[in-house]
Structure 1
Amino acid sequence: MKLNSPLRRAATVLAGALIGLGGAAVVTSPAAAHDSTVRGEAICDTATGTRIVTWTLTNDWPADATVTDLKTTPTDVEKAGEGNFVIPGKTGGRNGELVLTQKVTGGDAKEATISFASLWSTDGFTDGKNSARVDLSKPCAPAETPCVEAGQAGFHHTFGVTGNGSTATVTLNDGVKLCEGEPVTLVSYFAPKPQFAVPQYEYDHDSGTIDNEHRSVTLNVDVPDCNTQVDLFFGGEDDIISEITENGSRYGDKKLGSKNGLGGRSKGPQGWYNGGTKGCQTPAVEPLSQCDGTVTLNLSNNGKISKYAIDFTVKAGEFSKTVTVAPGKGETVTVPAGAGTITVSAEGMENVTYDWAAPEDCALPTVIVENDCDTVAITVENPEGVTPATAKITYGDKTETVTVAAGKSEKVTFKAGKATYATVEFPGLDVEPIKATLEKLDCENGGGGGTGGGDKDEPSLPVTGPVAGGIAGGAALLLIAGGVLFVIARRRKITFTA
């Protein structure tokens, strides 16, 4: 059957229109579905006072879209891994969303913003009109943490002693807020022994206070170069025990690292130390020899670290004595003459040994020589305040030895011979022997000077005649005078000093 021409033409036009509309739909529908959006949301982290902004980017097209030209304020978003951000396509069970996180601290920022473009690599389509903002004007502050009363807070610490110093660090535990500051002190002491013993005397201290602004303190003290104790305890300068005595106060469980009590709140090593290698005394001995043979020992205990009494023991032969010298003081011990080698001992000191030696300024013995035609007399005099002197006296081939006490004298007599001198030695004294020269006498002429003429071996003839009487009178006077001179001439005295 054939249609009439008008109807046929109308049908042809309608079919062409439908085909054109269908083709247009196929071409334009993908472009209309390329779309990306973004929305934001902010929450406040009350634990830290940080606002966390979450940005959700969406992709309505089945193919993945790469994010480009990403900009955020006031901070960058967190990025996991390397490479660009990609919004997954909405297909195959994927939701077509990419979530980015932005953290904003502080209260200055009033808003957060984001802007970006999306690129679909499958067809090169770009959507560059994506942006959003989130209001941050509401305050965001950490929640108020209740404070902890004194004695309830937790701490941790370090403690050590090295060389001549000690260091400790005490720190408040995280998350703890103190209602008031907590003082802590490190103190060192002189000690009588390397183990715990009393009395102890404060040497150095350092105190600090832990509070919410200063959550950690480091303390340092010097340690004495002798036996010591060091303590780390909860308390301030007013709580320091300056002298630890037998029945006095103790820090007890206030020491950090204790099992219980205030000190048990801090975790760490024991906050106390006892040790040392020598006593806190300075014993010293000064021996001085005396001229009388005694030895004076000056015992002292006045050094920089002398905090305890010292017992000095002095021994010499049968002599023995123990003397206690208080700190900062001195004592004197006299060892009798002739006691022998002296030994002084004390804790913290090597033994001191000493032998008496004659001082250089002691008075020396004197020697007096008297001789006449019959005898030679040697007298040794020893002064007061000196040791007994032993004198070895030699005249000719004869030798005598005498000991002369202090303030005394001893006399030795020899028969006169041809020797013209005597020698006196002092074996116990550091002096040269004395050579004592005798007075020269004319003993063959009665101790005088000669016969008045002629040969001395030939006596003069007596004088006779008228003048004999006058001569005899003069001779009588001369005889008397000569007798006096003879007595004087027979006893000549010379003194020598050793």
Structure 2
Amino acid sequence: MNRLHLRRALAVAAGALIGLAGVAVAAAPASAHHSEVKVTAECDTAKGEWVTTWTVRTYAPGGVTNYRLTKAEATSNKGEVAAPFTIEGIRTTDGDAYPYQVSEPLVGTARLAGDVTRASLTVRAQWDNTWKENDDKSATIRFSESCDKVVTPPPAKANPTATVTSDCTGDVAVKLENGAEATRDASFTVAGSGDFTKTAEVAPGKSLSIRVPAKNATRITVTEAGQKQPLFDDKPSEAKDCVEPGEPSGSYQSTCDELIFQVENPKDGKTVEITFTPNKGDAKKLVVQPGETKTVAFKAFEGLKVTPAAEGLDDTEPIAWEKPKTCTPGAGGGQPEGPTLPLTGAATGGIVAGAIALLAAGAVLFVVARRRKVRFTA
């Protein structure tokens, strides 16, 4: 009797063990199927928005390769008010397809307003072996501060211009301007021929002028530090409608006591500078401004000669004193040999130097450098 009960007990125990083993085999896949959700966020200050990145991963036993989402719900909060939003790349699967691979993470992004306080994603998965999750899997991110838009000011820039103008002397005026709408000073460099270079800083809405001498104005280049190309790089145009200055006139005369030279400069002329050097005694310089008439005299003696000269003069001839025939021997003084007769030359650039040539008839031509002329007559 006891043996029978022992055998029955053993049989029941064996059956229970087999049943438990079956349950373990059936339950093994259930413990291997699950999913998880993660989220990160960054503030896009250019737009004042949160950029959220959501990642869904699923796990399944070997041989299970694909899955679908039977649930994918995203919500965001502003305070206590919740509203749904869409995550690009993560959504509930339509139909019976299993589009996602177990081996690859499912990643989606969503932009949220900068003042949201919380965002969540809740999912459920079903694998291609028909196993379904019974519980939701979710992730939530909370924002302790807002994502504000940062306005970056545009880079400072100048609005430079250059105007190049020649005058009748050949000098050039370079006008440098910086527009009123500029947000920084303009840094100009003006370079002429030879070694001429000048720099200038011009504030927004301001201007200034740089003068380039004629000798350096063969070619002018104007650049600004922030510009790739020169503002001006050329030979300046010549001035128009220039009026030539008036011509001076000169004369000389021999008296019984002196050799006298006279230069008359019209009001519209230019300054005349002449140096008279006698063959004996000290030289004398005559500077005649526009609108002036000046004379210079040398005490007469036999053999007196006076040579006029000026800087750059190529050809000079001395003028000799000739005693007038009317002079009384031993008398102090006398009358000139004849009246003063001024002659004018052709109008040109400016009077810088001169020369006088004694003519057979007594007329003397005084030639001034740089193409200006003064004529003296006896």
Answer whether TM exceeds 0.5 for this pair. Answer: no
TM-score band by shorter chain is 0.3 to 0.5
Q: What is the TM-score with the length of structure 1 in the denominator? A: 0.32
Q: What is the TM-score with the length of structure 2 in the denominator? A: 0.40
| Structure exhibiting the larger radius of gyration computed from Cα positions | 1
**Whose helix fraction is larger, Structure 1's or Structure 2's?**
1
Determine which structure has greater relative contact order: mean sequence separation of CA pairs < 8 Å that are 6+ residues apart, divided by chain length.
2
